[in-house]
Amino acid sequence: MTTILVPTDFSDAARNASVYALHLASAMHYKIILYHAYHMPVVPTADAPMPVFVDQEELEKENMKLVIEEAAFLQTLLPVPIDCITTEGFAVDEILRLEEAEKPEFIVMGLSEAGRVSEFLLGSIATDVMAKTHTPVIIVPEKTPYKKLSRIAFASDYTVEPDTDELNLLKHLIKMFNAKLYIINVEKEVEDIEVDKAIQMMKIENDFDDVEHSHHLPVDNDLIHGINEFVADKEIDMIAMIPHKHNLLSRMFKESNTKKMAFHTSIPLLTLHSSHRSDD
């Protein structure tokens, strides 16, 4: 049965992402793997943190109990099959190990409302997973409730041609929910379309020739502001990007701190990946 991997730390943001994943799994007839990574407890000392000697088996049982309780809560909302897994180790490493073993369709993780994008991308577990995984990741903001996907935006600067593998999940979501796709490229000013960009636009046009879609070239000097304005104007339910090096997503999250780094979008961000990416 196709799976959605949902890491949790039992925070409000993780709970919200779990509920979002639950609704997706129900609509798509998938199951969920609810996962939690835990650490051996440590106590700070003047010199260095010292491990607390505890019963490893008991610690594992306590953490598994928490995961099972979380799964039980989710199943009061929707009767979706949920597998519970917990392991000891660093969260990112363990999530990637589990990804390799289980090969989920995608990973759903929460984003705390407190974190600006600059902070989010510089240090969070979700960011590290997004950067290292070969599986599509859906990042769900803490206050974002589940909403049926009716309008999905795919943001591209047309510098990299996506391959079929990268677009598979996006096309699957569009068809599953009978959604409309908006392909957008924010321009700093109105200008003639260069030949290379026109070729990439035609290729992307061919990739989506079997789904309802439209191209948009909004003009805005601030990339993030331009995307957010488009999202609000078109009432977009999810925005998708491909995190190749040096492309749109990379540029968005490396803007100067003096620029607007908010991107406190109220909608989920889907980062698409290919199982044979060569730009890791």
Domain with residue 98: its CATH number is 3.40.50.620
* The pLDDT of residue 97: 95
Residue 276 shares a structural domain with residue 205:
yes
* The pLDDT of residue 70: 97
Q: Which helix (H) or strand (E) holds 111?
A: strand 106-111
* The pLDDT of residue 186: 84
Residue 111 shares a structural domain with residue 37:
yes
Q: In the chain, how many domains are there?
A: 2
Residue 44 shares a structural domain with residue 135:
yes
Gap between the terminal Cα atoms of the chain: 29
DSSP 63-79: HHHHHHHHHHHHHHH--
Q: Per-residue pLDDT for the chain (280 aa), expressed as one digit of tens each? A: 799 999 999 999 899 999 999 999 999 999 999 999 997 665 556 566 556 666 778 888 999 999 999 999 999 999 999 999 999 999 999 999 999 999 999 999 987 765 444 444 444 787 778 878 889 999 898 889 999 999 999 988 776 667 777 788 899 999 999 999 999 988 877 665 666 777 777 788 888 888 999 988 888 887 778 888 899 999 999 999 887 654 555 555 554 322 232 345 678 989 887 654 444 4
* The pLDDT of residue 258: 23
Question: Going by C-beta distance under 8 Å and a sequence separation of 6 or more, which residues neighbour residue 131?
Answer: 243
* The pLDDT of residue 71: 98
Residue that terminates a domain, selected from 93, 125, 146: 146
Residue that terminates a domain, selected from 127, 146, 165: 146
Distance between CA atoms of residues 133 and 121, nearest Å: 15
Domain boundaries, position 186: 147-280
Residue 137 shares a structural domain with residue 154:
no
Residue 173 shares a structural domain with residue 136:
no
Contact between 260 and 222 under an 8 Å Cβ cutoff? The reply is: yes
Q: Which residue has the tokens 């759903």?
A: 108
CA torsion 22-25-30-32 (nearest 10°) is: -20
* The pLDDT of residue 98: 95
